[in-house]
């Protein structure tokens, strides 16, 4: 099978609206959390989130197009624009009939759905809906908009696996390229669920932190007093190519994808397996797929959302697979800074992993004030500050409601 490389990245995040700003704020240990501004959250149990800041859709789209699309698509277009620009793909003689897109979202156009249904509820029952109501809310609309925007007529669809979504998209794109079914694929995910329904729904599940008095410390993976995740939003986009195609056009290669693994917990709709059995399977499958030993992994960006059970169950799985090597590798939970971007989490965290490879720097886990007693003593969770170390192979873990596990392995590129 062919080698698959990354030649472009783009990011819209609570820490910045481009890859460089996002990465620098990660290294600095900044939190993207603050009071919710997208709606009046005064009566909600959770009143803070990690929102995208200073974003203007009309910087990327004409006003008419922006009004036809939901923020979940706005974020996707902005991130993909950056990824394509950084890859130089559009400036080359690439055959656009052969460029594919796999784009995902865990929830899709939730803001549009809420606005339209609330507006309908205010009336006399006469159905008056925006003609773009359905296209704006459908999860697959974003991949369609991206194809139309750039004229890419290759493989095109949407994958949904909750919070594992964009890793699933990356994995599928990786497979199409290495199997020779495509030369170039755009893959990623976007989410815009900081809405009344998003916050209210997760509150009803008791999944969100209610630490409203200090939102910047609310997302605290592995801390003894963590009380749930902080909602994030944004998008991450990556350009994948066969090594041969990238080299032929003289592209700058930022990393290589070497393997991926998936599994199902088959245990509970929202809770992870208490011993991490499904996660173990995905970890082992990713290592086998990449044909590497566990002691070759230098860094794991963990799923670690800041939920009481989920954080520890993931560590149990990692310890079961990696054994004593956990002492020699770094782990960090960048959701402590970005919040949980749901279906966009995997793509954004992949970008963090790739930057770690490029710069030999591991971003920190912030907000560990008192380490949970259940965290095994051998783990290096990179608390508080970024760490300079050799990073040759990095792993990104994502797990979604429904028990979906998707893990991707990246390697420093060597020609």
* CB neighbour list of residue 173: distance below 8 Å, 6 or more residues apart: 100, 102, 182, 185, 186, 187, 240
Residue the block writes with tokens 């004030």: 369
* Nearest by Cα to 188 from 254, 125, 100, 123: 100
Compute the distance between CA of residue 105 and CA of residue 138 in angstroms, rounded to an integer: 10
Cβ proximity of 405 and 378 under 8 Å: no
Token pair recorded at residue 389: 């170390």
Per DSSP, helices labelled H in 216-372 are: 243-248, 277-290, 310-322, 335-338, 345-359
Token pair recorded at residue 282: 């995905």
Number of helices and strands (H, E) in the chain?
A: 13, 14
> Phi and psi dihedrals of 301, rounded to 5?
-90, 105
Compute the distance between CA of residue 256 and CA of residue 408 in angstroms, rounded to an integer: 11
Residues marked active site are found at 163, 303, 340
Cβ proximity of 82 and 65 under 8 Å: no
Residue 127 CB coordination number (10 Å): 6
Sort 92 into a burial class: Cβ within 10 Å, 0-12 / 13-18 / 19+.
middle
DSSP bridge pairs for 371: 223
- Bridge-based pairing state of the strands 99-104 and 184-191: parallel
* Angle, vertex CA 345, rays to CA 342 and CA 346, nearest 5: 130
- Bridge-based pairing state of the strands 299-301 and 393-400: parallel
Residue-wise DSSP of 6-53: EEEEEEEBTTBSSHHHHHHHHHHT----EE--SS--TTSS--EEB---
């Amino acid at each position: 099978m062919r080698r698959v490389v990354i030649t472009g990245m783009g990011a819209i995040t609570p820490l910045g609206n481009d890859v460089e700003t996002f990465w620098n704020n990660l290294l600095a240990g900044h939190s993207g959390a603050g009071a919710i501004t997208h709606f009046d959250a005064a009566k909600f149990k959770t009143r803070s989130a990690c929102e995208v800041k200073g974003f203007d859709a009309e910087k990327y789209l004409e006003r008419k197009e922006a009004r036809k699309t939901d923020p979940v698509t706005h974020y996707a277009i902005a991130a993909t624009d950056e990824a394509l620009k950084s890859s130089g793909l559009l400036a080359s003689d690439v055959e656009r009939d052969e460029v594919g897109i796999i784009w995902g979202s865990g929830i899709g156009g939730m803001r549009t759905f809420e606005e339209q249904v609330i507006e309908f509820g205010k009336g006399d029952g006469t159905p008056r809906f925006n003609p773009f109501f359905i296209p704006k809310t459908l999860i697959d609309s974003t991949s369609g908009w991206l194809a139309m925007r750039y004229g890419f007529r290759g493989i095109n669809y949407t994958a949904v696996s909750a919070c594992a979504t964009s890793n699933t998209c990356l994995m599928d794109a990786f497979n199409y390229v290495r199997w020779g079914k495509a030369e170039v694929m755009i893959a990623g995910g976007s989410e815009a669920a900081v809405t009344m329904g998003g916050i209210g729904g997760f509150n009803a599940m008791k999944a969100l932190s209610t630490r409203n008095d200090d939102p910047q410390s609310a997302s605290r993976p592995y801390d003894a007093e963590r009380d749930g995740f902080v909602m994030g939003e944004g998008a991450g986009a990556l350009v994948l190519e066969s090594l041969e195609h990238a080299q032929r056009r003289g592209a700058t290669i930022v990393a290589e994808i070497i393997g991926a693994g998936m599994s199902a917990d088959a245990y509970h709709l929202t809770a992870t397996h208490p011993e991490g059995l499904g996660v173990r399977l995905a970890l082992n499958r990713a290592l086998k797929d990449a044909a590497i030993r566990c002691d070759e992994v230098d860094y794991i960006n963990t799923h670690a959302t800041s939920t009481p059970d989920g954080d520890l169950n993931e560590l149990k799985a990692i310890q079961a697979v990696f054994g004593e090597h956990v002492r020699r590798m770094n782990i960090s939970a960048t959701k402590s800074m970005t919040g949980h971007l749901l279906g966009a989490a995997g793509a954004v965290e992949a970008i963090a992993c790739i930057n770690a490879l490029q710069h030999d720097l591991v971003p920190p886990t912030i907000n560990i004030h008192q380490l949970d007693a259940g965290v095994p003593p051998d783990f290096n969770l990179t608390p508080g500050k970024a760490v300079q170390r050799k990073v040759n192979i990095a792993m990104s873990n994502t797990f979604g409601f429904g028990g979906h596990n998707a893990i991707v392995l990246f390697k420093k590129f060597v020609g």
